[in-house]
Structure 1
Amino acid sequence: MAYYLRFLRTQHNATGETVGKIVRRSKSTVSRFESGEYRLGEAECEALDRAWNTGRLFSILLHYARIGHDPNWLQQYKEQEAQACLIKTWQSNLVPGLLQTPDYARAGLRAGGVKDVDAAVEERMARQAILEREDPPTLLVLLAESLLELPCGGPAVMKAQLARILELSERPNIGVRVVPKAAGHHPGLDGPFMLLTLETTDVAYVEAPGGGRLVSSASQVRSFGLRYDRIGQHALPENSSRELITRIMETM
């Protein structure tokens, strides 16, 4: 997609500024589209297809990009996470990175076969700086009870991790709710995902082994938002969630 954007822009003798007017983005953003640093979304693809009469080339490329997994999506997700004013996440396997302790992160990264574990832990902890800003994002977290019981790194590491979740859940901008095992089947069993609200757009990130998928289509993002709300219908209230986390921590 980056290649064809650059190729067709050249064929049409268009500048980055001209393309920016077509897709309603800045010249610098167009440059990032062409370098592959940023990914074209549905609105940009449709605008380019109309302006250049491509036969839906960009829309077709976007379709195939969406059904694949790309490790580079994660880097773009991290950049957008740092800019988000609202972050919603559903996690069924691991504590989300923004809530992890260094020891918990280290245990998970080591188990995942990461080569430079120390560097990866440092990077993950650096992402948590957004929670310490003067204007931190609102973070709403739904967690499966089963992941809280899994002693990742051992009982002591997990006990400290649960204590960290309880500590952060008391902040006014952070909400943590637990979906109990008694809920049975619910929409969250399909897997974890994150929703980000930025100043001008909403995106979703779907995790997958070895990569992931960043979703920018408005209709698809809405569907993930609906799924998040439906999972939330099975979650305990915040106070009851804290009580459950405390009980699990006491057994560690």
Structure 2
Amino acid sequence: MQVHVLASGSTGNATFIKMGNTKMLVDAGISARRIKNSLAELGTAVEELDGIFITHEHRDHINGLPTLTKKYKLPVYAKAATFDSMYCREILPESCCKVIGDSIDISGVKVEPFSISHDAADPVGYSLYHQNLKCSVATDIGFVTDSVKKAISYSDVLVFESNHDVDLLKNGAYPWHLKRRIMSNRGHLSNTDAAWTIARMARQKHTKVFLAHLSQENNRPEIAENTVRNILTEQGCELNVDIDIRLTYPDKTASLTEG
């Protein structure tokens, strides 16, 4: 299994996952050109993608879809309400739009969406399974429900939101209504909440976690990493043995090969 977070943050999100010979994107919130170039650097042609799985309809998760579907005819999987709420729905080729149900098998990879709490039509995260490996992607989470905890449990690799530092957000330049939205149960997950979720989740013996969707305004990579590491250590987790913490970036790829 290979996991490459091509971009993560408010400016755009896309994660390339290869399991066996199956190649998939979770979200396509950066330009098709950038996705194509990033994949080429990894030795993959954009035409080789078996599917694009969309978590929700916000532009930083779907901006590349018009070109990826019209030019490359790539299949896109999402919830029906997500398709209906996309700004670009009318220009997406009908043949490319695939409504996903409880699960789907793509060339030997089982993909299961799970509901998350966010201010979108029907937002989801995804768990992907191939042989004995599991990868989960869960970002844009206002509140970690029991069903989310269950869905991400025992992931070998987890791409998980660590959006903001609460103090930076509260004291930052955002207007209060936006701060309130981010901190709400339908907003984004703080570094502290991310850390406690990771500490308490049912885990594999060695779990790799990408901290994702870091706010460039209300977070800092070193703050996110230190907050999560400190809480995990306090909870008895042995870093780099029990859990391996990695950062993601808005402007470069973060990569991992597992198994």
Q: Which has the higher contact order (CA 8 A, sep 6+)?
A: 1
TM-score by length of 1: 0.28
Greater share of residues in strand: 2
Which has the larger Rg? Answer: 1
Greater share of residues in helix: 1
TM-score by length of 2: 0.27
